Chains A and B, each alone.
Chain A
Amino acid sequence: MTVKLSRRTKAIAAVAGAASIAIIAAGCAPSSDDSGSDGGKVELTVATFNDFGYTDELLQEYMDANPNVKVVQNVAATSNDARANYFQKLGKKGLADVEAIEVDWLPEVMQYSDLLAPVPADLKDRWLDWKTAAATDADDNLIGYGTDIGPEGVCYRSDLFAAAGLPTDREEVAKLLDGDWAKYFEVGAQYTAATGTAFFDSAGGTYQGMINQVEAAYEDPDSGDITATTNPEVEELYNQVLDASATQSAHLGQWSDDWFAGLSNGAFATMLCPGWMLGVISGNAEDVTGWDIANTFPNGGGNWGGSYLTVPANGANVEEAQKLADWLTAPEQQVKAFENAGTFPSQNDALTSDTLLGSTNEYFNNAPVGQILTDRANAITVAPFKGPFYFQVNDAMQQALTRVEDGTQDKKASWDQWVSEVEAIG
C-alpha cells in the first residue's frame, strides 16, 4: 500500500521480476568481480527500480569525470521485485555494487545493517534530519544514502471543485483546506452534499497520510513491542477515516484498475499527493485538464515514501561504490533526478536550489511544484518510528479498511479481526 508506484506495473511484476532477477544473477555478479581485478577499468553496477531519474546522460557525466569507472544500471520493474532480490542475496553474493532500497523495507534492512557499508561520517549532515535518522542503526552507523522523499500536498480536480461551488484557485483551495483532518473531511462533506459524488479516493490512501503523522503508531520504539491494538491514536484515526469514508470515499482501492479509471473519469475530487504521485496522475489521466495541486496538507506536513542507496559490504568495489552513491545523492544530481523523474530531493542544499524552486508542472496547470513540495517538506515535523513489524501491521490495517469500504464487514467486526491478526504477528 505504501509502496510507491510499485503496484502500478503489477501485471508485469511476476514475469519481469523473475526475468530481471535471473538477468541480474547471471549478468552482474561475475562482471563486477572480474573487472576490478583487471587493474584498469572498474565496473560498478547500480540496481534501482521504477524510475530514479538516473538517465544514461547522468551516469555518463560520472563516467566522464571518472574515466576508470564504468557504470551499469539495472532497473527492476517494481520495487517488490527489487525487494525480493535484495533479501535473497543480501549476506551472500550477487547484489549490485550500489543497491537502491525503499523506505518501506527499511525496518527489515536495519536488522541487517552490519552487512552494509556505512556512509562516511562527514556526509551525514547533508540530508534532512529525519531522513538520516530513519536509516541510522543502533551503533550510530548511517547505512543509506538518501535519494528522494515524498512530501505530500493535496491534489484536486479544479473542474469538479467548480461544479461543487468550491474555490478552484490553488491558493484559495489551500486556504480552504488549511487545518486538521476534521477540516478536510468537513470540506469533503460540503463537496459530497453539493455533488453527490466522492471527495477522496479511498479510506486506505487517506489513512496512510494520517498514520504517517503519528510518531510511534504500531510499535514501542524502546522495547520493540507491538502496541498497535492498544494505541488510542490508531483507533481514533481508524474511526475518523471510516466515518468520513462512508459518504465521501469513492471506495477505490489505490492501484486497482478501478482506481486508475477513477483518476481520469472524475470518480473522486481530491487525493493526498506525494511528489512522485504527480507522475502517476499525469501518466494515467492524460486527457484530464482539471488536476491541480494545493500547497496544504491536513494537520501539517506528511511524508509518504522515498528511497535510499545502499552499498553491500561484501561487494567487490566497496570504496568506488561509495563514491558513486555519494555523487548520485549529491544536491546537484538530486535536482537533476527531480527534473528527470520528479523524485523530490532529500538533501538540505538541494532544497534551496533555484532550479528546484523554480520548477513548474505543465500538466497541473503550471503549478510551481518545486516551491509547493519544498514548503510541504519543510512542514514535516514528525519522523514516524517504523519497527520490524510495521509493514505487516500496516498491511493488515489496510485490509481492515478495505473490508469496511467494500461492505464485507462493519467497522467493529473489521477492527476486531485486525486486532486478532496483529496478535498473531510476531
Chain B
Amino acid sequence: MTSTKTAPPSAPSPQQARPDRTERTPRRIAFGQKLSKWDFKLSPYLYISPFFILFVITGLFPIAYTAVISFMDWDLVRNSGTFIGFDQYIYVLTQPKFWIALRNTFSIFLLSSVPQLILAIFIATMLDQNIRAKTFWRMGVLLPYVMAPVAVALIFSNMFGDKYGLINTLLGNIGLPPIMWHSNAFASHIAIATMVNFRWTGYNTLILLAAMQAIPRDYYEAAAIDGANKFRQFTAITLPSLRPTLIFVIITSTIGGLQIFDEPRMYDQFGTGGANSQWLTISLYLYDIGWGQWNFGRAAALAWILFLIILAIGVINMLVTNRLVRDEGSRDGRSRRDRRAAAIAARNDLEHRVGGTVRDDFGSTSTGAATSDTNDKTTEVAR
C-alpha cells in the first residue's frame, strides 16, 4: 500500500521529469528527491512505530523498573527501598525451592508442549481432509480455548481428587490402586499438563491448519500421481512446509510453558504449589514471594531470572531452528549480510557494464532483488 503511494514521486518517469527539470532549480529537485528518498526509507518505520512506542511504555519500562527493584529491599506499601546489590539474586539462587520450581516448570512444559504439538498436527491434518461439516469441527477444537483457565481447573480438580476424584474412583472400580495426584510430583505434573493441553491444543491446531491450507494442492496431486501414499505425502510435503509455522508455535508455547501459572495455582486450595513443592513453578514461586510474603525485591529478582531463562531458551530455540530450517525469513539460505554483499556486487557489475551510475536506491534494490531471485532459481535447480 504505502510503497505504491510513495513510489511515483520517487521514481518519476523520464518523460515527466524532463519538463519539470527545466522549470525548477536543480537544487529543489535534489531536495525533493532527498525528501522522497527519506519518505521511502523512513515512512515504514513511522507506520510501525506506534506499536514500539506503546511497547516502550507498557513493556520496556516495567522490565527496567523491575530490574531496579530487584537490587533493592523494596517496601511496596511505602513505595521505597534501600539498595542492596545482588543479595536478592543470591538469595533466590540459593533457595532449594527455586531449583525444584525450575525442575517442575521444565517438566510441566515438556509434558504439555510435546504431546500438545503432536496432537495438534494430527488433528490439523484430519481437519485438512475433505470432511463433512468442516466449520463445525474447526470451531469445536477452539472451544476449550475459550474456557477460562479457572473454570478448566475447577473441572479437572474434580477429576484429579486424591480420594473422591473421578479418575481414582474409576481406577478403584477396576481394581487398580489410586494415583496420588497431589503428593506424587510426577502425577501432579501430568494432571497440570492435561489441563494445559486441554486448553491449548485446539488453538495450535487452528494455527497449523491455516498453514496447511496455504500449501499448494498441486504438490499433493503431483505426489499422488507419483504414487506417494497419504503418510508419505504428510512427511514429504506437509511437515516441511509447516516448518516456519511450527517454529512460531514452538516459540510461543515455550514462552507460555515457562510462565505457566493459572493451572498450578488452581490445582489445590492454597495455590502455593504443594506441601513438598510438587508442582511449584517459577511464576507460582514468584507470586508467592511477591504477594504471599510481600517481598517485592526478591520477587523482582526472580522475575529477572525467569526473564533471562526465557531469553536463553529463546536464543537456543533460534539457533537450533535456524540450522534446521534454512528458509526462514528469506527464500535462499543466506544471511542479510550475504544478500547485501551480493546486491552491491551486482550493482557494481551493472555499473561496470552500463558504464553509468545507478542513481537512486530504487534501482539498486530492484537489481538486488532480481539477482537474489535468479539466485533462488539456481538454488532451486540445484536442489
Using a CB–CB distance below 8 Å, which chain A residues touch chain B?
1, 7, 10-15, 84, 87-88, 90-92, 108, 112, 115, 252-258, 261-262, 265, 267, 392, 395, 398-403, 406-409, 417, 420, 424
* C-alpha spacing A48/B293, complex, angstroms: 22
Binds A, one of B247-255, B265-273, B308-316, B324-332: B265-273
Indicate if the CB atoms of B164 and A10 lie closer than 8 Å.
no
B192 to chain A, nearest CB (A): 15
Indicate if the CB atoms of A261 and B150 lie closer than 8 Å.
no
The one of B95, B266, B278 in contact with A14, judged by C-beta atoms closer than 8 angstroms, is B266
Indicate if the CB atoms of A7 and B269 lie closer than 8 Å.
yes
For residue A114, which residue of chain B has the nearest CB?
A: B78
> What residues of chain B lie closer than 8 Å to A10, measured between beta carbons?
266, 269, 271
Q: How large is the interface on B (under 10, 10 to 19, 20 to 34, 35 or more residues)?
A: 35 or more
* C-alpha spacing A370/B157, complex, angstroms: 37
**B37 within 8 Å of A (CB atoms):** no
**B77 within 8 Å of A (CB atoms):** yes
* C-alpha spacing A262/B162, complex, angstroms: 12
Indicate if the CB atoms of B150 and A14 lie closer than 8 Å.
yes
Indicate if the CB atoms of A87 and B266 lie closer than 8 Å.
no
Name B241-297 residues within 8 Å CB distance of A.
Answer: 262, 265-266, 268-272, 274-276, 278, 291-294
**B202 within 8 Å of A (CB atoms):** no
Number of A-B residue pairs with CB-CB distance less than 8 Å in the complex they form? 91
Indicate if the CB atoms of B272 and A395 lie closer than 8 Å.
yes
A11 to chain B, nearest CB (A): 4
Indicate if the CB atoms of B161 and A258 lie closer than 8 Å.
yes
> What residues of chain A lie closer than 8 Å to B266, measured between beta carbons?
10-11, 14
Indicate if the CB atoms of B79 and A92 lie closer than 8 Å.
yes
The one of A84, A112, A255, A402 in contact with B275, judged by C-beta atoms closer than 8 angstroms, is A402
Indicate if the CB atoms of A87 and B183 lie closer than 8 Å.
no
> What residues of chain A lie closer than 8 Å to B148, measured between beta carbons?
15
* C-alpha spacing A420/B270, complex, angstroms: 21
* C-alpha spacing A398/B163, complex, angstroms: 20
Indicate if the CB atoms of A112 and B183 lie closer than 8 Å.
no
Indicate if the CB atoms of B275 and A11 lie closer than 8 Å.
no
B299 to chain A, nearest CB (A): 13
Which of B95, B148, B165, B268 lies at the interface centre, i.e. has the most chain A CB atoms within 10 A of its CB? B268
> What residues of chain A lie closer than 8 Å to B150, measured between beta carbons?
11-15
**B236 within 8 Å of A (CB atoms):** no
B145 to chain A, nearest CB (A): 16
* C-alpha spacing A1/B272, complex, angstroms: 11
Q: A91-B78, A108-B294, A395-B272 are in contact. List 7 more A-B contacts (CB 8 A).
A: A7-B269, A11-B153, A14-B262, A14-B266, A253-B268, A257-B157, A402-B275
Indicate if the CB atoms of B275 and A400 lie closer than 8 Å.
yes
> What residues of chain B lie closer than 8 Å to A402, measured between beta carbons?
275
Known contacts A10-B269, A402-B275, A406-B183; decide if A91 and B77 are in contact (CB<8 Å).
yes
* C-alpha spacing A406/B182, complex, angstroms: 8
* C-alpha spacing A265/B265, complex, angstroms: 27
Indicate if the CB atoms of B163 and A261 lie closer than 8 Å.
yes
Indicate if the CB atoms of B161 and A408 lie closer than 8 Å.
no
Indicate if the CB atoms of B76 and A87 lie closer than 8 Å.
yes
Indicate if the CB atoms of B161 and A399 lie closer than 8 Å.
no
The one of B78, B180, B271, B276 in contact with A399, judged by C-beta atoms closer than 8 angstroms, is B276
* C-alpha spacing A253/B157, complex, angstroms: 14
A36 to chain B, nearest CB (A): 24
A415 to chain B, nearest CB (A): 13
Name B147-174 residues within 8 Å CB distance of A.
Answer: 148-151, 153-154, 157-158, 161-165
For residue A399, which residue of chain B has the nearest CB?
A: B275
Which of B148, B182, B262, B294 lies at the interface centre, i.e. has the most chain A CB atoms within 10 A of its CB? B294
Which of B79, B148, B269 lies at the interface centre, i.e. has the most chain A CB atoms within 10 A of its CB? B269
* C-alpha spacing A14/B263, complex, angstroms: 11
> What residues of chain B lie closer than 8 Å to A395, measured between beta carbons?
272, 292
Which of A11, A112, A267 lies at the interface centre, i.e. has the most chain B CB atoms within 10 A of its CB? A11
25 A-B pairs in the complex with CB atoms less than 8 angstroms apart: A1-B270, A11-B151, A14-B150, A14-B262, A14-B265, A87-B76, A87-B77, A87-B294, A108-B294, A112-B77, A253-B268, A256-B161, A257-B157, A257-B269, A258-B162, A258-B163, A258-B164, A258-B165, A398-B275, A402-B275, A406-B180, A406-B275, A407-B183, A417-B276, A424-B95
